[in-house]
């Protein structure tokens, strides 16, 4: 009877350990999948940071040139606005009198 009881206890202990092992293997697999997912997310985030860093480097390197170009555009717009508001119509009047002269020349 002692050996029968011992075998029953050993069988139960073995089943418990196998169940615990299966639980641990399942947990390990789940952790491994989570690790891969986290690692991929980390790599994606690192790629985004690298791209932002490159973009910032470009912006810093070209800031002065862009600033000068913008200032030139603003100055050109101010001059165009001044011309359109009547500050200097000599060019426009000259072009229209040339057109009138050409029209008169073709009519003759």
pLDDT at residue 96, as a whole number: 53
Along the 108 residues of the chain, how does pLDDT read in single tens digits? 789 999 999 999 999 999 999 999 999 999 999 999 999 999 999 999 999 999 999 999 999 999 999 999 999 999 998 888 876 555 555 555 555 555 655 544
pLDDT for 19 equals 94
In this predicted structure, what is the pLDDT of residue 1? 76
**Whole-number pLDDT of residue 108:** 45
What are the C-alpha distances in Å from 69 to residues 57, 58, 74, 81? 19, 16, 9, 18
- CA-CA distance, 48 to 42, in Å (whole number)? 10
The predicted structure's pLDDT at residue 104? 57
């Amino acid at each position: 009877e002692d050996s029968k009881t011992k075998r029953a206890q050993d069988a139960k202990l073995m089943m418990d350990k196998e169940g615990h092992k299966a639980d641990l293997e399942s947990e390990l697999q789940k952790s491994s999948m989570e690790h891969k997912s986290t690692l991929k997310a980390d790599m994606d985030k690192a790629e985004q940071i690298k791209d932002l860093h490159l973009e910032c480097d470009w912006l810093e390197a070209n800031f002065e040139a862009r600033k000068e170009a913008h200032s030139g555009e603003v100055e050109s717009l101010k001059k165009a606005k001044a011309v359109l508001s009547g500050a200097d119509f000599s060019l426009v009047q000259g072009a229209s009198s040339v057109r009138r002269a050409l029209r008169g020349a073709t009519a003759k």
